[in-house]
Amino acid sequence: MTLTFAKRDIIAVNDFSKAEILQILEHTQILKSHPRPDLLKGKILGSCFFEASTRTRISFETAMQRLGGTVVGFADASATSTRKGESLADTMRMMENYADIIVMRHPLEGAAQHAADVVSIPVINAGDGSNQHPTQTFLDLFTIQETQGKLDGLHIALGGDLKYGRTVHSLAQAFVHFNPRFYFISPPLLELPKEICDELREKGVKFSFHKCVEEVIEKLDILYMTRIQEERFAHKMEYDSVKNAFSIALDHLKKVKPNFKILHPLPRNHEIDTSVDNSPHAGYFQQAENGLYVRQALLSLVLGGV
């Protein structure tokens, strides 16, 4: 069954059913394999980044241009009338006059939903504070499916800052459709929030907590690492004591499964040693590249160019 995404807002992964997620991934594969340089010819993307973001913004703008569309917008709120006190709603209404679709990143949680409420053109959330970043989750899912050949029944570890990391929250929530076995590896103060654990428990997802990667690495299909920020800790010594327990180097990979892949939303710090980069288990660069195709898929599905 072909589902329609025409004119739909993309605000949070939880808004999508399993069938819809799978269709997005299927469409991503089609565009990755068979580029369509004229698919969105004549369409304009309004790129509204109220908060600096080099990777995501460039990924979206490239995605649009490689489909034949063009881009207008801004990369920083200081370039807009926000500094004159203009409301978010008015800024979005202004952009609606010029663009066919808006992609936005904003520091406040819920900003993308607010924008979606006030304009009639589709809005894609490129990150709203520590709340949602749905396109990151879709590209994570796509990469996992691509490297594992499936999404169902995988053994997945989420490591690093699980408390403040929106990417791991969203990925955990998306995976409830796919019967995973989760392993959560984090320092004690950075554990996955209780609300998300409760949600997983309600959906019958099995998970466990661990102190270091070595405890579980041989069981894993996927290790999804995130950056632990030093500023989360009161003292540098405390940060130094934990960061090595949540980092991975070539030595860790001696007994992993052949299909094992390491993913990371990037940028990375100490958590993945550069010695891993040339290993067949390094999946994070492929993951970053897939951001382009996933965003192309979303733009084309929403603008009806399929």
The SS3 assignment for 114 reads helix
End-to-end CA distance of the chain: 15
State which residue, 31 or 196, has the beta carbon closest to other proteins: 196
Q: Is 55 labeled as catalytic in the residue annotation? A: yes
For residues 245 to 264, the per-residue mask of contacts with other proteins, x marking binding by CB under 8 A and - elsewhere, is --------------------
Between the CA of residue 198 and those of 142, 158, 173, 209, 279, what are the distances in Å? 26, 16, 11, 14, 36
> Binder to other proteins among 5, 9, 12, 162 (CB under 8 A)?
12
Q: Cβ 118 to other proteins, closest distance in Å?
A: 9
Determine how many CB atoms are found less than 10 A away from the CB of residue 186: 24
Q: Any contact of residue 87 with other proteins (CB under 8 A)? A: yes
Among 19-27, 34-42, 125-133, 151-159, the segment contacting other proteins (CB under 8 A): 125-133
Q: Any contact of residue 52 with other proteins (CB under 8 A)? A: no
Q: Is 105 labeled as catalytic in the residue annotation? A: yes
C-alpha span between 14 and 25 (Å, rounded): 15
For tokens 């800052």, name the residue.
161
> Binder to other proteins among 17, 130, 208, 275 (CB under 8 A)?
130
Between the CA of residue 22 and those of 175, 289, 303, what are the distances in Å? 12, 19, 18
State which residue, 128 or 221, has the beta carbon closest to other proteins: 128
State which residue, 109 or 214, has the beta carbon closest to other proteins: 109
Q: Any contact of residue 6 with other proteins (CB under 8 A)? A: no
Considering the candidates 55, 201, 203, 257, report the single residue annotated as catalytic: 55
Q: Any contact of residue 114 with other proteins (CB under 8 A)? A: yes
State which residue, 138 or 293, has the beta carbon closest to other proteins: 138
C-alpha span between 127 and 114 (Å, rounded): 13
Q: Cβ 145 to other proteins, closest distance in Å?
A: 25
For tokens 């698919």, name the residue.
39
Q: Cβ 87 to other proteins, closest distance in Å?
A: 6
Q: Any contact of residue 78 with other proteins (CB under 8 A)? A: no
Please, which residues bridge with residue 72 across strands?
46
Q: Is 56 labeled as catalytic in the residue annotation? A: yes
> Binder to other proteins among 74, 129, 163, 249 (CB under 8 A)?
129
The SS3 assignment for 262 reads strand
Between the CA of residue 136 and those of 152, 213, 243, 263, what are the distances in Å? 19, 23, 24, 12
C-alpha span between 238 and 63 (Å, rounded): 41
Between the CA of residue 268 and those of 213, 271, 306, what are the distances in Å? 17, 7, 35
State which residue, 56 or 132, has the beta carbon closest to other proteins: 132
Binding site for other proteins (CB under 8 A): 12, 14, 87-89, 106-111, 113-114, 128-132, 195
- Where in the sequence numbering do the catalytic residues fall? 55-56, 84, 105, 133
